[in-house]
């Protein structure tokens, strides 16, 4: 960590996970609380997919059936960013879709978000990190590098990552590794050791969400903890799911796809009975530029009952309570 203080695993989980946890960051955000108690949920955290282009074909990819030619124009993105900034967006996670570093105006996108005082997170497979300069990464708050059991953590890739990371110590670097039903423990341990040696904030080991019941994260935990220092590891199994109900998370941290449409959440691909490897039309809220109309209706929930898997049930319950007329608030 930048502060030099070693965090407990529970602190790491609170800082670097959202789904399936008590949303402490939401409760501590006065912007969210004040607006919700006034009857509105604002899009404080936007999840943005600028392009569907990708340089890999990961077997765990949640968007492998997408239209890989789709890409948002930079002019449209600027209009979207302007509108969301005025509504109160304070953070944007640039994610996939595809590989964000393939976006044709990646540096310009980072610079424009930074000019609006919006904090930036980046999710990438890491292979193209060498293409951009330190000045670009200095504008980013954190970067999470995606991995999977089908991918070798070889010396060429490792040395490239190390060079970028050394040049950019103010970025909070992390790994997110998707664990399959046949975990590649050797590669996972290489990643953890690399993270420990290079001051990464954490390594998240998450079960493949298309077959979570087949992945034994607890067994992975047992085997890894005897071999390496796993104090920075978050083990995320997600074997149990809550059925969807009244949904408000879609107003708080919506997803904008490379098609320019607005979607409910980052779990949309896994949410429906017939699982999709693309953002499903059933969970589309409309055009991304029509966010003001969406926000105007945020006191009423989106019907999430169609979702057989909801990762944000705790968020939704708390937001619903915030929007309610509660008497005797002083008697906590």
Q: How far apart are CA 190 and CA 172, in angstroms?
A: 19
Low-confidence ranges of the chain (pLDDT < 50): 1-4
95 φ/ψ sector (left φ>0, alpha ψ -120 to 50, else beta): beta
pLDDT of residue 188: 97
Any idea which residue has 């609380």 for tokens?
Answer: 33
Burial of 98: CB neighbours in 10 Å, binned 0-12, 13-18, 19+? buried
Could you give phi then psi for residue 24, rounded to 5 degrees?
-60, -40
pLDDT of residue 2: 39
Do residues 252 and 301 lie in contact, with contact meaning Cβ atoms separated by under 8 Å?
Answer: no
Could you give phi then psi for residue 83, rounded to 5 degrees?
-65, -45
pLDDT of residue 4: 43
pLDDT of residue 104: 97
Instruction: Respond yes or no on whether the N-terminal peptide bond of residue 97 is cis (omega within 30° of 0).
Output: yes
Q: Which domains does the chain have, with CATH numbers?
A: 9-322 (3.80.30.10)
Task: Report the relative pairing of strands 255-256 and 261-263 from DSSP bridges.
Answer: antiparallel
């Amino acid at each position: 960590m930048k502060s030099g203080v070693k965090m407990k695993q529970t602190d790491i989980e609170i800082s670097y996970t959202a789904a399936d946890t008590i949303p402490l960051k939401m409760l501590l955000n006065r912007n969210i609380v004040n607006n919700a108690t006034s009857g509105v949920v604002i899009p404080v955290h936007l999840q943005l997919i600028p392009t569907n282009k990708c340089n890999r074909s990961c077997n765990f990819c949640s968007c492998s059936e997408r239209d890989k030619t789709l890409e948002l124009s930079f002019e449209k993105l600027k209009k979207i960013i302007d509108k969301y900034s005025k509504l109160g967006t304070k953070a944007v996670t640039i994610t996939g879709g595809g590989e964000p570093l393939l976006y044709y105006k990646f540096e310009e996108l980072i610079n424009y978000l930074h000019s609006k005082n919006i904090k930036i997170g980046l999710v990438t497979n890491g292979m193209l990190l060498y293409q951009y300069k330190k000045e670009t990464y200095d504008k980013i708050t954190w970067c999470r590098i995606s991995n999977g059991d089908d991918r070798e953590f070889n010396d060429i890739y490792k040395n490239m990552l190390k060079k970028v990371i050394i040049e950019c110590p103010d970025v909070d670097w992390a790994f997110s590794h998707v664990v399959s039903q046949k975990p590649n423990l050797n590669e996972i341990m290489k990643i953890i050791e690399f993270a420990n040696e290079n001051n990464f904030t954490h390594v998240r080991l998450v079960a493949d969400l298309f077959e979570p019941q087949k992945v034994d994260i607890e067994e992975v935990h047992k085997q890894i903890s005897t071999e390496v220092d796993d104090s920075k590891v978050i083990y995320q199994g997600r074997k149990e799911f809550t059925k969807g109900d009244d949904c408000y998370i879609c107003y708080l941290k919506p997803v904008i796809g490379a098609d320019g449409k607005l979607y409910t959440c980052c779990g949309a691909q896994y949410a429906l009975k017939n699982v999709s490897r693309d953002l499903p039309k059933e969970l589309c809220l409309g055009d991304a530029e029509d966010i003001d109309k969406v926000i105007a209706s945020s006191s009423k929930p989106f019907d999430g009952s169609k979702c057989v898997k909801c990762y944000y049930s705790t968020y939704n319950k708390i937001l619903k309570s915030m929007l309610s007329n509660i008497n005797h608030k002083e008697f906590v």
